[in-house]
Amino acid sequence: MEEKFDAIIVGGGIAGLSAAMTLARGNARFLLIERGEFCGAKNVSGGVLWGSDLARLVPEYWKEEGGFERFVNHRRLTFMDEGSAFSADFKSNHFDEAPYKGVTVLRAVFDAWLAEKVQEAIDASAHPDESFIATDILVEEILKEDGRVVGIRAGEESFYANCVILAEGVNNLLTRQIGLEGDYVPDDYVAVGVKEVMKLDRARLEDRFQLQGRSGLTNEFVGAGSDGVEGGGFLYTNTDSISIGLVLGLKDLKKKGKTPYDILNGFKAHPSVADMIRDAETVEYSAHVVSTGDIRALPSELFADGVMIVGEAAHLLLNAGKAIQGMDYAMRSGILAAETAMEATKLGDFTSATLSNYRKALEGSYVLKDMRSFQDAVHLLHQEQMFGPIPNMICDFGRQFFTIDSEPTEKASKMLRAAIKRHTSYWDLVKLGLKAGRSL
Ligand SMILES: Cc1cc2nc3c(=O)[nH]c(=O)nc-3n(C[C@H](O)[C@H](O)[C@H](O)COP(=O)(O)OP(=O)(O)OC[C@H]3O[C@@H](n4cnc5c(N)ncnc54)[C@H](O)[C@@H]3O)c2cc1C
């Protein structure tokens, strides 16, 4: 057998690069293989990288010019019907201090920047000439000997390692190849995300959204924007562009015979959205599958002899209405798998017995804790009422409440009763309220 790496990482997205950074800092010898021309070339996110794990990987990253776009200090959740928008809006100077709790990113920029940071860590490690980031290479096969993963094959070349970290993202063909996930993924475990990046002069953008320096806004949308299809919209501010898009349930799209691009055009034309993107020019369009955050989608196990599955390859993602958390889950799982690989190197044991510590660490972290705690909220969000009747009711109430038309004014409670009657029923609302109370 050829000389072995300590680890091979398949995929140079956030999960793979986070594992690589951790291994480089731990002086491990590793090979990261990415099929894109460069890290980030093939990746799509809304995208807000939530939480503070980025500071664990790149301390004081906020002092750098590159990498992230803006930090989030202003959040908005908007309910829409055909012509109105009712928002909960929260802005706080608590979010102005680094380390930030959320930063907007453009993946082609961010992943490439993170890959540069990994290369710097390799250069500073004990084995600068024995770890590599190799791009433009597709891993086609996971190699096994005596039932244990021992390496990978890319074209004619085979590479061997003590363990393989699969960070291949949601289209996890290699995870399926080794039997940790079935070939068929139910269509309610995945959604489709469509997104445009729209360029807008920086000064105009900052003026329009009241941004200072590198501060930014995130706006999520529920209701008419998804044209009756399960899902929701998002709008995030970057340095001199806006990311706008939708995440739509595949099953519901199929059932209703609608196409994501038409729905996105309708969303962009909604009066409250059109005002925000006025004069901005579309410079990029992308579409990507994304997990729904249903915990039933997790592979049968996240490790086996010689292998660990990280990030969205393991369907680690939470979308419980407050935010899509896929990138922070990818980051933390990548870090934990790399730490387990280094522990295994010390013990000289890469069997499931040691690699199961990855699962234990993940269970102890916010990743699996939150996925378990908020499963009911994930399912609640997929109920038809959440993207039709409820936003319509909220906007109906808003329209009555904020209208002053030189007629005697009804009490707010009467307006609310009228809105409930028109769009749903007390009984449905009570049931929904109880579910929401339990799940959030
Ligand atoms: C429209 C949309 C909006 C989203 N918004 C957000 C958001 O706001 N916040 C958030 O946290 N998450 C968001 N997500 C989810 C987030 O993008 C993913 O959860 C995250 O990218 C997962 O990271 P990963 O590293 O596991 O996988 P990926 O980022 O998909 O990376 C996988 C990498 O593996 C490479 N690869 C795959 N197969 C092979 C192979 N065989 N050989 C070599 N290389 C391979 C790919 O090219 C890719 O670079 C969004 C997703 C979509 C689609």
- How confident is the model over 245-262, as pLDDT tens digits? 999 999 999 999 999 999
With a CB cutoff of 8 Å and minimum separation 6, the contacts of 157 are none
For the chain, what is the mean pLDDT? 95
| Confidence band of 110 (pLDDT split at 50, 70, 90) | very high
Q: Closest Cα to residue 13, out of 53, 48, 41, 49?
A: 41
What pairing do the DSSP bridges indicate for beta strands 303-304 and 307-309? antiparallel
Whether 379 maps to a domain, the answer reads no
Instruction: For ligand 1, atom 31, name the residue with the nearest CA.
Output: 13
- Is the pLDDT score of 109 beyond 90? yes
- How confident is the model over 324-378, as pLDDT tens digits? 999 999 999 999 999 999 999 999 999 999 999 999 999 999 999 999 999 999 9
Residue type, 380: L
| Confidence band of 187 (pLDDT split at 50, 70, 90) | confident
Q: Give the domain-ending residue among 321, 338, 373.
A: 373
Whether 130 maps to a domain, the answer reads yes
Q: Give the domain-ending residue among 316, 345, 373.
A: 373
Give pLDDT, residue 42.
87
Residue type, 138: L
Q: Which residue has the higher pLDDT, 366 or 1?
A: 366
- Looking from the CA of residue 325, the nearest atom of ligand 1 is 11
For residues 151 and 142, give the distance between their C-alpha atoms in angstroms, rounded to a whole number. Answer: 6
Q: Tell me the best of 219, 234, 290 to mutate to test the pocket of ligand 1, counting ligand atoms within 8 Å of each CB and taking the most.
A: 290
With a CB cutoff of 8 Å and minimum separation 6, the contacts of 236 are 46, 47, 48, 104, 216, 217, 218, 219, 242, 243, 244
| Choice among 53-57, 111-115, 310-314, 425-429 with the minimum mean pLDDT | 425-429
Give pLDDT, residue 209.
98
Residue 339 Cα to ligand 1 midpoint, Å, equals 21
Instruction: For ligand 1, atom 39, name the residue with the nearest CA.
Output: 168
- Is the pLDDT score of 315 beyond 80? yes
Whether 136 maps to a domain, the answer reads yes
Task: For residue 47, give its domain range.
Answer: 5-66+105-187+294-373
Question: Percentage of the chain surpassing pLDDT 70?
Answer: 100
Q: Give the domain-ending residue among 264, 291, 318.
A: 291
Q: Tell me the best of 45, 53, 328 to mutate to test the pocket of ligand 1, counting ligand atoms within 8 Å of each CB and taking the most.
A: 45
Give the pocket of ligand 1 (CB within 6 Å).
Answer: 10-16, 33-36, 42-50, 138-139, 167-169, 174, 193, 195, 245, 247, 288, 290, 311-313, 317, 324-328, 330
- Is the pLDDT score of 2 beyond 70? no
The verdict on 149 and 235 lying in the same domain is no
pTM across the whole model: 0.96
